[in-house]
Each structure stands twice: as structure tokens, then as C-alpha cells.
Structure 1
Amino acid sequence: MGDRTGISWTDATWNPLRGCSRVSAGCVHCYAETVAARFSGPRQPYEGLVHAKTRGWNEQLRFVEGALDQPLRWSRPRLIFVNSMSDLFHENVPDEWIDRIFAVMALAPRHTFQVLTKRPERMLSYLGERTDNREHAIGEQMRVISRGRNPGLPELPLPNVWLGISVEDQSAADGRIPLLLQCPAAVRWLSCEPLLGPVDLRQACTLRQCTDPYGVSHCGMVCDLDWVVVGGESGAGARPMEPAWPRALRDECAQAGVPYYEDTRMFRPLRPGCVAEGREVIGRIE
């Protein structure tokens, strides 16, 4: 957790939770699992959260009390990636923990919080409850964090919270995107990292009849996604990414007017001799 990060699409990471478990092919070379295993010894941050033999997550999660108010202590506005070392909507995370994290996000409107999950079914279950019930639960935690002051009730969806899902291939996209689109959110986004196969986003987009300023009628693609991040896998044993896969996503985003970010530093091509470095950005979120 910290004000510096190697993740190119954010400014800082915030980890009020620790621990996770694998859920799909995108988790096979999980960087968070590797880091946790390295610091899982006695009296270290991830003690008790990984298997001693396999060095993998053991499905145990821990709330990090001392990290909860970190964003409130950052005065300069930041893009903040929430739980880079866990999953906010893991099935073993109690609703109360999520309420507390949403309370901090509501109390820090100067920041923009980037939430990412591989478990959109839990996210929808949490956010799909009666809005007034969820707002009161978060509001109660806001009062506790504010030490008795009454900051009022939040209005969901929080305007400074982006809700996103990880999508590594078409199977993940087909299962997760429809659930994301049902979640109330100011911004909905995808992280196609690591991209392990082609992904077609047309299920999230529709063709609509439009009229341009000159009165000419035409069909245009409109997408219910607000941002797409794409990158390959890095590190030892990284699985390669075919260059055509991100290219197709880029073209779909351009057609639908969806901001697209490609981190080509995390790019191991299938074709020998093909080298790409840097990043490509198309569009921006206003």
C-alpha cells in the first residue's frame, strides 16, 4: 500500500484488506499472491494468509484497521486502486467491512477510487440491496470514522467510485460483464489484464440510430462501459498475448467512443522478434 505504485493506470494503492483466493485462469500468476508469500513469515503482514507448502492464498482474509483511514490523510487528489492485494467483494468479506471501506470513499470526495473485482456477483448482491438500507449502513460507518460527527448519508452510486471487473478471456467476459452492467456506478470499467485470449465487447454495446449535425441518419455503436484497460502478463512464466487481441479491443472501443488504455510494458507477444514498449491511450474519462 502506498502513495507510489508501479501500476501505470493509477496514482496510489490502498489495502484495507489482505488475503484472497484464486477464482479463474487470470489468477494463475497472481502478483499479489507472490508478494504475500514473500511476506508471510512470523510477524510479517501476510502471516496466516497463505498455505505454508503451496505458497498460495488460503482463502483467509484480514481487515487492516490501521490502513482504513489512509485516503483521509492524503490531501492531494489521487486515483486510488482499492485492494490491490485482495478483492473487496470476495465471498469471505463481511458486508460490514465493505460498508467501512465505502464510508471512507464517501468521506474522501477529492479522490477517485478504482475498485476491481473478479466477483461481480457479490458486488451486485451488495449494491443491489435496497439503496436506502445500504446508504444507512455506510452512513453509520461514516459517523464512526468521523468520531461522532454527522457527515450525513451518502447517495449511491458514489460519484468518485469506479466499479470494475477483471476480464482475461471471452468466457470471463461473458460471465462477468452482464453482472457489472447491472451494478449502479458512476463509472464502469474493465481491466483486461492479463489478456489471455480474444475478447469481444459487443454484448456490452448496442447499435443505435443517430443523426449527425447535418441531418444525416446513421447507425452508431453505444457502449455501457466507460473505460477499458488492456495489458499482457508479466513475470516468470508469463503467458503470451497475441497482438491481434488488444488491437481488436482498441478498435471496438474507438468505434463505441470508450476510453481505452493499453499498457504495452506488460506485453509478451506470441510472435518472436516483436517488441512493444510504452503505452497507448485513446480517449479520456471526463
Structure 2
Amino acid sequence: MGDTRIEWTDKTFNAWWGCTPVSPGCDHCYADTLARRWGHQVFQHRGPRRMLSDDYWRQPLTWNREAQRTEVPIRVFTMSMGDLFEDHPHVTEARERLWPLIDQTPWLRWQLLTKRPRNVTSMVPWGNAWPEHVWLGTSAENQHWANIRIPALLQIPAAVRFLSCEPLLGPIALQQAVIPMGSQRGHGLTASYVHTGDCCTSRLHGIDWVIAGGESGPNARPMHPRWATDLRDQCRNADVAFFFKQWGAYAPETHHHDRGRTTVIDLKGHTWDDADPATPPDAIRMRRVGKGKAGRCLSGRLHEATPPLSPTRTPNAPDS
């Protein structure tokens, strides 16, 4: 690990490998596939976790010196091979080892991504004074999990809060998850709105970045294009950075793909037989062309916005 082909970061760092699957986004976990390829069965409930060497743990110190020399912060995705905030008896020591390493590396932008945001507060040492170089994100693959995880994320005063909507398995209306926070004081999360005609659009206070993408791999599920474009439009209306990572294994047939297995998917995520007369009008034909051919263009262009490497706002401490 270290150098990575993940488009929205510069490096990856893993305090360990492995975690327990918790939601549909985990069903075809690339990390589990990679670990099994190396002979590690570490993605099982209460199963073993793979720990890394001392040499591996020294890498972020080298990256920090490099970033300080060039005066360009380096983004570090933590963890690509597990979940830092899993409540597992074998990982407590490794997690505690990470906090002083983060404190020693202020030129790194630590991107902590979790599917367990409710565990974060009890596991980090910073209370309401998070370091400015630590970003916190949560995964949300559909509306159900967005409604559960986003409010938990927004309770935490990280300098940058972000969402990974990948693999995107259904439509997500971000304001449905953000609006409940508007009734709570503190956190800088009072819900405010921009009225456009009859539309009332949340400004998504507290969310700084949204990453979206489809699923890749041999068992990939297709992503309806509207799910991605709707997220893009929500971010545009709310002045939130939007990053489209990939289509995944499937791309719309309208993108001039005439080869590859066809799947018809509607806005709710149901798949249909190509000749079924009951197919709803919002269904679209997707072609399995592979990640490389499917590409990363959404509506004909790349979307690669990211938060500033130096935060422009100070985390707000919640009211006591």
C-alpha cells in the first residue's frame, strides 16, 4: 500500500486489514477480494485481522517530510482495506497507535472513511477539537444508509466532512439526511435553504465533499445515470465539491457502447428484461463494458472537485 490508483487521494494507509460487512455496499467488497488473493481471510465477523509491519507504519513520516519539503499537503485515504472505527477486540491497539502518528504528520490530510460514524466520538482522542488536517467521511450507498450515517457524521466537528457514495446503489436526496440536523443547535448545521420557484433546496451545511461512483468487479451492479447526475446537481446547488470517480463495470448504452451484456435498470434499482412491456419509462439500458471503457465522464465531462488542502473554516464545537 502507499501509492494508489484511487482517483480522489494520493496515498493509502491501513492500520490493519479486514472488517465485518455491514450493508449492501459491502456485498462485493474489493478489499475482501484483494485480501483473499493474498491468502488472508479477514473480512468475517469477529474473525482475525491482518496487522502491518513497523516499516509500513513509518511510511507516513516519510510522506510528511516530502509534503513539508514541497509545501504541498498529501492526501492519505485511511482505510482502504478495513474500517478504522470497527468495534473489534483485535484492533484497539493499532487504532490507538494511529493517533500520535496523525499528530506527528500535519502536512498530511488524513481522509478517515467509515461505515460506522456512530462509533467515532468514543474512539478518537480529540473531543471537540479535531486537528485541521484530519478529514472524516462516511459511506452511503442509498437513501436508507444516507439517512442513518449522515446525521451521525454531522455530529462530529471534523475540519472537512465528506461522503463516499460508492458503489451507488440507489438514488440519494442528501437534504433528507441533512434537514433533521436543522433542529439541533451547534455544529454549524442549522438548515438553511435556497428557494427556487416551488423547489426548496437544502444548502447541505456541514458536508464539504461528495464522491460518487458505480461498482466494478465481476459481480458489479449497474448504476442508473440519474443517481449520479442528481447528486452532482445537489452539490452544484449547495456549493459542495463533487467528484465523480467512475461508472464502474457498466456504462449507459447511449455513451456509444454497442457491445457488452445489456442490463435494463430503473430509477429504483430494479432490473428488467429487455423485452418486458411493463418496463417503466425511467429505465435505461446499460452495457457491461468494464471499468476502463466505461470511463469517468459524467454528462460528457470530468468532475474532480475536492476540498482545499488547507481548510477554510474552523471546526465548530457543539453547544454544551
TM range (shorter): 0.7 to 0.9
Contact 1:81 1:114 in 2 (8 A): yes
The AA in structure 2 aligned to 1:8 is E
Alignment of 1:43-62 (within 5 A): 46=40, 49=42, 59-62=47-50
Contact 1:18 1:63 in 2 (8 A): yes
Q: CA 1:282–1:11 in structure 2 vs 1: closer, same or farther (change >3 Å)?
A: closer
3-state SS of the aligned residue for 2:192? strand
Confirm whether residue 178 of structure 1 aligns to residue 175 of structure 2: no
Alignment of 1:17-166 (within 5 A): 17-40=16-39, 46=40, 49=42, 59-66=47-54, 67-74=56-63, 75-77=65-67, 78-92=74-88, 94-127=91-124, 134-135=125-126, 156-166=129-139
Output the CA distance in 2 between the equivalents of 1:219 and 1:232: 25
| Structure 2 residue aligned with 1:255 | 237
Q: RMSD of aligned C-alpha atoms?
A: 2.6
Q: CA 1:248–1:117 in structure 2 vs 1: closer, same or farther (change >3 Å)?
A: same
In the alignment of these two chains, the number of paired residues is 243
3-state SS of the aligned residue for 2:83? coil
The AA in structure 2 aligned to 1:70 is Q
Match of 1:236 among 201, 204, 218: 218
1:63, distance to aligned residue in structure 2 (A) = 3.2
The AA in structure 2 aligned to 1:204 is V
- Bigger drift between 265-274 and 231-240 goes to 265-274
Contact 1:124 1:180 in 2 (8 A): no
Output the CA distance in 2 between the equivalents of 1:220 and 1:14: 34
Contact 2:143 2:172 in 1 (8 A): yes
| Structure 2 residue aligned with 1:278 | 296
Output the CA distance in 1 between the equivalents of 2:224 and 2:194: 34
Deviation string for 1:244-266 (max 9, x for gaps)? 00111111111111000001352
Aligned-residue identity in percent:
39
1:277, distance to aligned residue in structure 2 (A) = 2.1
TM-score, scaled to structure 2: 0.69
TM-score, scaled to structure 1: 0.76
| Structure 2 residue aligned with 1:225 | 207
1:207, distance to aligned residue in structure 2 (A) = 2.4
Contact 2:139 2:164 in 1 (8 A): yes
Contact 2:75 2:108 in 1 (8 A): yes
Residue segments in structure 2 that go unaligned for 5+ positions in a row: 68-73, 180-190, 252-264, 266-283, 288-292, 309-320
1:14, distance to aligned residue in structure 2 (A) = 1.0
